[in-house]
Amino acid sequence: MALRAVLLRQLRVPVQTLALASRKSQPWSFSSCIRLMSSHDDHLSKEQVIGRVLDVVKSFPKVDPSRVTPDVHFQKDLGLDSLDNVEIIMAIEEEFKLEIPDKEAVKIDSCNLAIEYVYNHPMAA
Amino acid sequence: MSVSTAAYFARRAAQKERVQILYRRALRDTLNWAVHRHLFYQDASNLREKFDANNHVEDLDAIDRMIAEGEARYNKWRHPDPYIVPWAPGGSKFTRNPTPPAGIEILYDYGREDND
């Protein structure tokens, strides 16, 4: 009886350490089968963000896909209009399920800024 | 002379920003009204043509007047139940489950008592 109590006390594992361990580690390759404790911690990796943003820009009908690089400027390098800029940003919002405020969306002018914004956004999916 | 051109360019830049914000809101509203994608594409291209028709106007006051008209038309056509991303203000998940503060833990002991 006392031995059982001692053993059980040894095995008492608080839930908090598991949550901290899973939040601090990098997203593992099998992270889908691990239940993370908070709904805010699946961060996208930079390569994923870059790949998806470039796919969105390449699939825009007015853009030549071979000229798209991660640091291309929409209006200067790709020859787009400011309204095309708005359309690209809306497509990026739909891709990553984001809501970008109007004032900041107008300032996103190049792929660089878009990738940085999406990468630093906590709710990018 | 340079002061007036600087002011002219500043006004044009401000107007460009207003037009961009108006186009953005109008496009989103179009998506709210026309939920099906093929309808949305047609309506979006119509909207784009309307904006492009006035692309080359140079007179500042005329541009201001057209922007005001566009904003009035946008206010008239606003959707009563727009789609907002769930975690954004106005969405359904906004401030629903904030992240628990770090250091708070739940010790599951299932009613085990210490003298057991």
Average pLDDT, rounded, for chain B: 88
Tell me, what's the pLDDT at A39? Answer: 56
The predicted model scores a pTM of 0.73
Q: How many CB pairs under 8 A join A and B?
A: 58
Structure tokens at A38: 């908070």
Chain A, nearest residue to B49 by Cα: A83
> pLDDT tens digits, residue range A33-71?
444 455 556 678 999 999 999 999 999 988 888 889 888
Catalytic residue among A41, A71, A81, A84: A81
Give the tens place of pLDDT for each residue, B50-85: 999 988 888 888 999 999 999 999 999 999 999 999
Q: Which residues contact B2 (CB under 8 A, 6 or more apart)?
A: none
Note whether A102 contacts B25, CB cutoff 8 Å.
Answer: yes
Give the residue from A119, A114, A109 showing the smallest Cα distance to A73.
A109
Instruction: Please choose, from the candidates A67, A108, A103, the residue with its C-alpha nearest in 3D space to the C-alpha of residue A84.
Output: A108
ipTM score of complex: 0.78
Residue A18, pLDDT > 70, answer: no
